[in-house]
Amino acid sequence: MGRSAAFFDLDKTVIAKSSALAFGRPFYRDGLITRRDVVKSAYAQLMFRLGGTDEQTMARTRDYLATLCKGWQVEQVRQIVAETLHELINPYVYAEAAALIEEHQAAGRDVVLVSASGEEMVRPIGVLLGVTDVIATRMGVVDGRYSGEVEFYAAGPRKVDAVGELATERGYDLADSYAYSDSYSDRPLLECVGHPSVVNPDRQLRRLAVENSWPVLEFRHPIPLGRRLRERPGVPVAAAALGVGVGVAIGIAWYGRHRRTRTAPAPA
């Protein structure tokens, strides 16, 4: 029997917000994106989270990401993330997720963050959590700037490809490994391990979890790292399913509006 690992999705699983959108304000402040880009990025992510498992949706999201980032200086992005990480991400780390990560590490398992966000964002968040292994989207770089090409898009089945490669390299036994996610788009990731759990799941994922008797975890306590270390709160890691949350309900409302307007002619 090989070693085991624990694979964690990032957004709404480990942190209580979107890691990519969290940096929208400093990116806008430094002139990397416009107000229109902020709105389009938020809407694109919402649509991906609601139905992002089909290849067409993932391809559109990937291509939009590549176009948006083309020409950005990589070092500028890294500096923005480093300067704002403790303000924009640290207060939103779920205490339950941090405790669960520590439990896996104490049991001798490697912990891996698996996220569709860019590696320049995900890796520093991993350092914040004491996690050194990440699987994240990698952008092409030419002369220190993003080229407009996506070398690897860490979404849907692509996450599983990367997990499989890492398992082969490290000797992980995936049947004895764990995975955590909040989104139905991560169904392939959850199904590739022997111990999947869903965290604050969307409606489709909650239904899938019930059908497969997967544990449903409700994380509700985002707490800054410094306070977490001082207080060591005894928050429950697992809880019974509580029904569709407010965030999911809002997302469904947005989706309904999107469905009603999809057939309307595009503005000239």
Q: Are 45 and 137 in contact (CB under 8 A)?
A: no
The answer, yes or no, to whether residue 246 has pLDDT greater than 70, is no
**Cβ-based neighbours of 45, under 8 Å, separated by 6 or more:** 18, 20, 21, 61
Give residue 63's pLDDT: 82
Output b/e per residue, 114-149; b: 16+ Cβ within 10 A.
Answer: bbbbbbbbbbbbbebbebeebbbbebeeeeebbebe
Q: Of these residues, 9, 110, 182, 202, which one is catalytic?
A: 9
**Token output for 7:** 């694979």
Please indicate whether residue 182 is annotated as part of the active site: no
Is residue 9 flagged as an active site residue?
Answer: yes
* CA geometry: angle 163, 168, 172, nearest 5 deg: 75
Tens of pLDDT, residues 50-65: 555 566 666 777 787 7
Whether the Cβ atoms of residue 89 and residue 128 lie closer than 8 Å to each other? yes
Dihedral angle at the C-alpha atoms of 152, 158, 163, 165, nearest 10 degrees?
A: -70
Q: Is the pLDDT of residue 196 over 70?
A: yes
For the chain, give every domain's residue range. Answer: 5-232
More confident residue, 8 or 59: 8
Q: Answer whether residue 211 shows pLDDT above 90.
A: yes
Let me know: does 174 contact 193? Beta carbons within 8 Å: yes
Asked: is 5-232 a CATH 3.40.50.1000 domain? The reply is yes
Does residue 247 carry a pLDDT above 90?
Answer: no
What pLDDT digit, counting tens, does each position of 131-182 carry?
A: 999 999 999 999 999 999 999 999 889 999 999 999 999 999 999 999 999 9
Q: Is 19 a residue whose pLDDT tops 70?
A: yes
What confidence score (pLDDT) does residue 1 get? 54
